[in-house]
Amino acid sequence: MLDIKVIRENVKEVKQAMLNRNLNISFDQLLNWDGERKTIIGKIEQLRFKRNKESEEIGKLKRKSKKLPAELLAEINKVRDIIQEQEKQLLTIEKHIKDFLLRIPNIPDKSVPIGKDEKDNKIIRFVGKPEKLSFKHKHHWEIGEKLGIIDFAAASKISGPHFAVLKNEGCVLERAIISFFLDMHKEKGYKEITTPYLVNRTSMTGTGQLPNLEEDSFKCAVGDLYLIPTAEVPVTNIHRDEVLEESALPQKYVSYSACFRRESGSYGKDTKGLIRNHQFNKVELVKFVKPETSSEELESLVLDAGNVLELLGLSYRVVLLSTGDIGFSSSKTYDLEVWLAGCGMYREISSCSNFKDFQARRMNIKVKYSKNKKRELLHTLNGSGVAVGRTFAAILENYQQEDGSVVIPNLLRKYTGFDIIKP
C-alpha cells in the first residue's frame, strides 16, 4: 500500500495519479483521521508522562512507609482509565486508516503512458514475424477437439463453462511446456519453488488481491483460505516480515502452479478455448530486489519471459500498459502478447510488473544495507514465465498443418517423446 507520509506531503500529486488511473478519490477523510491520530498520540504521551511521575511519587512514599494519599491513588487510576480510552480510540482510527490505504492502488511510474484503457497502451517492440498460413486456419479449440487432445464438453459436464479437459498427447504437451519453462528459467538463475495452492487472507492482502479483488477470488466455504489466482501470492509471501541482506539480493524464484480466477469470461470475450478459464496452469517469476535496481530488473524480467517464447519459435510483441490498464498493485507493467495464427491476432501471454515498495509495505519485507546497516522496504516484481494454457493454444494455432496435424516445436520434443500430433 502507499505510505501515508507520501499522501500527507504530496496529496495533490497522489490525487492526480489516481485521476490518471480514472479514479476520483478524496483523501480528506484520510487526512482528518491522520490528524486525529497525531493528536491522540500526543495526548497519550502526555498522560503516560503524568502517570509515570505520579508512580514515582507513590514509590517514594512506599519506600518511606508513608500512607498513600487517597486523592493520589484516585488520580493515577483516573489517568490510567483515560489512557485506556484514548488507546481504544487510537486503535479504531488506525484501523480506519489501514482499511482506507488498503483500497488505494499503486502510483503509476512516470514512464507509464496516461490513458483510459487498453487502447492507450504503447507497443514497445515486435519480436519475430508472424507466419501467414497458406491454408484456411483453424482456432486452437477446433484443432484440439479434432485431434482428441482437448474435451470442453466433458469439462463443462464435470465443472461448468470455462474449464478444459486435456487428453492423450495434450496431457503430455502440457507437462512438456511446464518442464521446459522451469528448466529454461532455472538456467537464468531462478530458484524453483513449489508452494501451497491455498493461502490465508493475510497472504492475499499482502500482494494486493484483497480487499479490492475479493469477488474475483475462489474462497473456501469453511476456513479463511483462498485458492491462489497466481503463484505470485504464495511465493512473494515467503519473505513476509523478513529483512534480507543486501548481498542476498536479487532473490529470483520460479514456480509452477495451477491458478484459479473467477473473472474468466466476465467481459463477454474469450468464451471459447483456453485463453480465459477459471482454472489454468502458469509458470511464475518473482523477484525481490533493491529499490535502486528495480527498473532494470523489470526490463530483464521481460527479456526472461520473452526468451522462452523465442525458443519455441513463437512471435510476440511487448506492450507498455497505460495508467488505465495497469493492475491495482502495479507501478509499471509490460504485457507480452503472443501471435495466434488461428485467431489472427496478438493475445496476452505474460504480464511483467514492478510493484516497487507497494507490496513490501503490506508484507513488511525489508533490505538491510551492508555499509550503513540501514533498513528500508525492498521492491518486488513478478511476471508470467509464461501462461502454459495460452502457450498450448499458440502452439496449436501456429504449428497447425493443412492435414489437421500439429508439429511439436523442436525444443519440446525431448520432453514429449514425439514430434507431431496427428488426427
Annotated binding site for ATP: 261-263, 348-351
Torsion of the alpha carbons at 81, 84, 89 and 94, rounded to the nearest 10: 170
Distance from chain centroid for Cα 59:
55
- C-alpha grid cell, residue 4: 501515508
Whether omega before 250 lies within 30 degrees of 0, making that bond cis, reads yes
Distance spanning both ends of the chain, measured CA to CA? 52
**296 by DSSP, 3-state: which?**
helix
Feature table: binding site: 230-232, 261-263, 284, 348-351, 382, 384
- Look-up of cell digits 486456419: 137
Q: Counting beta carbons within 10 angstroms of the beta carbon of residue 267, is it exposed (0 to 12), middle (13 to 18) or buried (19 or more)?
A: exposed
Q: Which residues are CB-contacts of 129 (< 8 A; sequence separation ≥ 6)?
A: 315
Feature table: binding site for L-serine: 230-232, 261, 284, 382, 384
Whether omega before 233 lies within 30 degrees of 0, making that bond cis, reads no
Kind of pairing between the strands at 375-377 and 332-340: unpaired
Task: Identify the CA nearest to 374 among candidates 293, 298, 295, 290.
Answer: 290
d(CA 134, CA 57): 96
Given a contact cutoff of 8 angstroms between Cβ atoms, the answer to whether 55 and 80 are in contact is: no
Instruction: Please give the full DSSP string across 251-270, using - where no structure is assigned.
Output: EEEEEEEEEE-TTTTTTS--
Given a contact cutoff of 8 angstroms between Cβ atoms, the answer to whether 314 and 338 are in contact is: yes
**226 by DSSP, 3-state: which?**
strand
Instruction: Please give the full DSSP string across 331-350, using - where no structure is assigned.
Output: SEEEEEEEEETTTTEEEEEE
Q: Counting beta carbons within 10 angstroms of the beta carbon of residue 406, is it exposed (0 to 12), middle (13 to 18) or buried (19 or more)?
A: buried
